[in-house]
């Protein structure tokens, strides 16, 4: 019996390593290729180890205004996150504590997550164009808020549902007005939930491609659009393409690792009602 258990554990270890390799090898390989000189990329037969060269990274930084793109991403996504969490927290609170609108309203709001961006983007484009909002950070902020608000409301509602009402009741009995209860008691307790919501909003909005593609066509490119332009019609510079991909990936991945605690919490706590 013990031998069986040992063999099973060994199998598990092997599988674990297998999975790690399966998912990480493409990432590692791409990174390695982005750091090798051009001749080695185009060499055949392929080489595993090549001298390290930063030429692609330097080249792409020179060629494209990546700092401008990153700044646009940061601004639009940051503002949208703040707006989304602000609106979502308030809505989540009324839904959690007072069941405003009952089951129907709740269901309608949550079902908005089903909406594909591609469906709403055509009318948004037409409307924004009429009011000359196209190509502005504002249009992106509105679009990203739209993208994330149903999720934020859902998350904040779940979080408020887990906070017992006794504390709020006690504060009310002590004579606090509604808003005082809210700001002094409820919000601080939900601060963790707000962090989770902000993390998710940020990630989803940052990674967006479709809204930025249509609503920020020529001037205010975000980083996702910026790197997509590396797919040129004529011969693609693979080194630069990969370098660009990793430059775009690095911030959000680092962010993800840094806040993984919140991501985990959100996925389990906030989602499971």
Partner 1 sequence: MTKKGSIRKKVSPLHLLRKPQYLMIMPSLIFLILIVVFPLVFLFRTSLYDLTFMNFRVGAPYIGLRNFIDLITVDTRFWTAIQNTFLFVALGVSGQFFLGLAMAIVFNRVLKHGSFISLLMFPSMVAPIVVGLLWRYILNSDFGIISQLLMMWGYSRQAWLADPSVAVYVLLLIDLWQWTPFMFLILLAGLQAMPQDVIEAAEMDGAGSVLRLFRIILPVIKPVVFVALSFRVMDAFKIFDIIAVLTGGGPGSATMTLSLKAMVDGFTYFRLSYASAVSVLMVILVTIFSSVFLRVLYKEMGTEA
Number of residues forming the site for partner 1 (CB under 8 A) = 91
| Subset of residues 39 to 58 that bind partner 1, contact rule: CB under 8 A | 41-42, 44-46
The answer to whether residue 209 forms part of the interface with partner 1 (CB under 8 A) is yes
Region of 235 (left: φ > 0; alpha: ψ -120 to 50; beta: rest) is beta
CB 156 within 8 A of CB 197: yes
The answer to whether residue 188 forms part of the interface with partner 1 (CB under 8 A) is no
Give CA–CA dist 48/121, Å, rounded: 44
Which tokens sit at 8?
């099973």
The answer to whether residue 167 forms part of the interface with partner 1 (CB under 8 A) is no
Give CA–CA dist 9/11, Å, rounded: 5
| Subset of residues 97 to 126 that bind partner 1, contact rule: CB under 8 A | 97-102, 109, 111-126
Instruction: State the sign of the Cα–Cα–Cα–Cα dihedral 92, 98, 100, 103.
Output: positive
Q: Which of 75, 27, 42, 34 is nearest to 244 (CA)?
A: 34
What would the DSSP string read from start to end of 75-113? HHHHHHHHHHHHHHHHHHHHHHHH-TTHHHHHHHHHHGG
**Shortest distance, CB of residue 273 to partner 1, whole angstroms?**
6
Nearer to partner 1, 132 or 268 (CB): 268
| Subset of residues 54 to 93 that bind partner 1, contact rule: CB under 8 A | 87-88, 90-91, 93
Site string for partner 1, 215-254 (x = CB under 8 A): ---------x--xx-xx------x--xx-xxx-xx--xx-
CB 158 within 8 A of CB 271: yes
- CA dihedral defined by 104, 157, 151, 79, rounded to 10 degrees? 120
**Shortest distance, CB of residue 101 to partner 1, whole angstroms?**
8
Q: Which of 3, 166, 234, 273 binds partner 1 (CB under 8 A)?
A: 273
Q: Which of 7, 15, 54, 65 binds partner 1 (CB under 8 A)?
A: 15
Q: Which of 74, 133, 189, 210 binds partner 1 (CB under 8 A)?
A: 210
| 115 backbone dihedrals φ, ψ, rounded to 5° | -60, 120
**Shortest distance, CB of residue 122 to partner 1, whole angstroms?**
5
């Amino acid at each position: 019996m013990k031998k069986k258990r040992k063999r099973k554990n060994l199998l598990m270890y092997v599988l674990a390593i297998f999975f790690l390799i399966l998912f990480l090898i493409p990432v590692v390989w791409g990174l390695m290729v982005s750091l090798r000189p051009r001749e080695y990329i185009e060499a055949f037969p392929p080489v595993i180890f090549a001298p390290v060269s930063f030429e692609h990274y330097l080249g792409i930084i020179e060629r494209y205004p990546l700092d401008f793109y990153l700044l646009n991403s940061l601004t639009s996504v940051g503002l949208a996150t703040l707006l989304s969490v602000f609106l979502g927290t308030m809505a989540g609170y009324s839904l959690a504590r007072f069941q405003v609108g009952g089951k129907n309203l709740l269901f309608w709001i949550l079902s908005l997550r089903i909406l594909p961006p591609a469906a709403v983007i055509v009318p948004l484009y037409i409307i924004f164009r009429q009011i000359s909002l196209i190509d502005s950070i504002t249009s992106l902020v509105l679009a990203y808020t739209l993208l994330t608000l149903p999720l934020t409301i859902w998350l904040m509602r779940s979080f408020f549902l887990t906070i017992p009402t006794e504390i709020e009741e006690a504060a009310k009995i002590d004579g606090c007005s509604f808003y005082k209860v809210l700001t002094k008691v409820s919000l601080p307790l939900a601060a963790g939930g707000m962090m989770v919501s902000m993390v998710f909003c940020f990630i989803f909005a940052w990674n967006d491609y479709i809204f930025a593609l249509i609503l920020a066509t020529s001037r205010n490119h975000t980083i996702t659009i910026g790197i997509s332009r590396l797919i040129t019609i004529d011969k693609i510079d693979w080194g630069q393409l990969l370098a660009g991909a990793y430059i775009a990936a690095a911030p959000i991945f680092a962010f993800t690792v840094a806040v993984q605690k919140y991501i985990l919490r959100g996925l389990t706590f906030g989602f499971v009602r």
